[in-house]
Amino acid sequence: MPLYEYRCAGCGHRVTIFVQGLSPPAAPVCPDCGGMSLTRLFSTFAVRKSDKAVYEDILSDGQLVKGLEHSDPRALAEWNKRMSHGLEQETAPEYEDMLEKMEAGEMPAPPQESP
């Protein structure tokens, strides 16, 4: 059963819709805001590397390792991307926002604690 990814024009969230069958839904609805103005995103299939191959790939990239040692936000975002490559897991919009900030070179603020 395929998963289709969309971007909602109403709330801006990236949403994944599970479809029973082989065709995309005729009128997808955003599960976050109920909006019906969704744009289908191009998505690819994933092939998972072994954990050892992922670690070797990261450690063989001297520039990435140096960035990680210096807490460079871009390096942290790249490390995250490589570590999660091939994993099929849904991430929260807040997490996606943090990754976008890190890719732009900005370290996101730590999450606020609940009282």
Q: What is the pLDDT of residues 5-23, one digit of tens each?
A: 889 999 999 888 877 776 7
Range of the domain at 61: 51-103
Q: Do the domain assignments include residue 20?
A: yes
Q: What is the pLDDT of residue 31?
A: 86
Give mean pLDDT, residues 67-90.
83
Q: How many structural domains are present in the chain?
A: 2
Q: Do the domain assignments include residue 115?
A: no
Question: Half-sphere exposure (CA, 13 Å, Cβ side) for 93?
Answer: 11
Q: Which of these, 82, 89, 50, 85, lies nearest to 67 by C-alpha position?
A: 82
Kindly give, in sequence order, each residue whose CB lies less than 8 Å from that of residue 107, ignoring residues fewer than 6 positions away: 71, 73, 101
Q: Do the domain assignments include residue 62?
A: yes
Q: Do the domain assignments include residue 45?
A: no
Q: Do the domain assignments include residue 110?
A: no
pLDDT at 72 over 90: yes
- 84 in helix, strand or coil? helix
Q: Do the domain assignments include residue 46?
A: no
CA 84, distance to chain mean position in Å, is 9
What pTM was estimated for this model as a whole? Answer: 0.49
Report the chain's mean pLDDT, rounded to a whole number.
Answer: 81
